[in-house]
Amino acid sequence: MEYISNGTGVAEDEQEVLLADDTIAPVTRLCALDALFTATGTVDVKVGVRTIRLPIQSVDTEIIDAFVRPYRPVAPTRAQLENGRRVVIENQTDRTYQEKLAEYNRVWLLAVVFHGLAVDIEDTAGHVVWSADNTIHDLQATRLAAKKMGLVDNQLGDIVKAINDLTRFTEEAQGRD
């Protein structure tokens, strides 16, 4: 497995750095700006009769969870007395809650895709609405751009599966070390 950091691969023992000219040097410092522990790869996506290859990167699920937290719905509750105690009961079958939950799940899926794609996404005016390094991320504008591009659920599914596989492989490889 190859870890990538600004074009620099890290050797398996993570104590040496493979430089661009194929020489190896010891790691002398770690910086939050380096993505040493991010794995990259590609995913092939079928678009009509052709296939396009998109660069992807592993994602941190904690970052995804934090990103989508404002969209997470809260089930309506009601309180009732049971055996002299006040008990709060969630109504997870409430139609409005279910609709909001479906939208939250969709947003979570899109957040994984947009965080995991290692490409800039531009709107129709050519403005970057989601950057490859995730420093720019306008979810609503990116959703609109993806819709205008014709990105469909089957393609999203392929991309999410590849990103999840890459992330899981990275986490397992780091866990073995």
For 126-141, write each residue's pLDDT tens digit. Answer: 999 999 999 999 999 9
Could you tell me the sign of the dihedral formed by the alpha carbons of 14, 18, 24, 26, in that order?
A: negative
Q: What is the pLDDT of residues 15-74, one digit of tens each?
A: 454 455 556 666 666 665 555 567 889 999 988 889 999 999 999 889 999 999 999 999
Degrees to nearest 5, angle at CA 106 with 124 and 131:
40
* The pLDDT of residue 103: 95
* Strand 3-5 relative to strand 77-82, pairing: unpaired
Query: Crossing angle for the helix pair 95-116 and 139-149, nearest 10 degrees?
Result: 80
- Rg (C-alpha) for the chain, rounded Å, is 21
76 or 34: which leads in pLDDT: 76
| Structural contact between residues 127 and 117, judged by C-beta atoms closer than 8 angstroms | no
144 or 172: which leads in pLDDT: 144
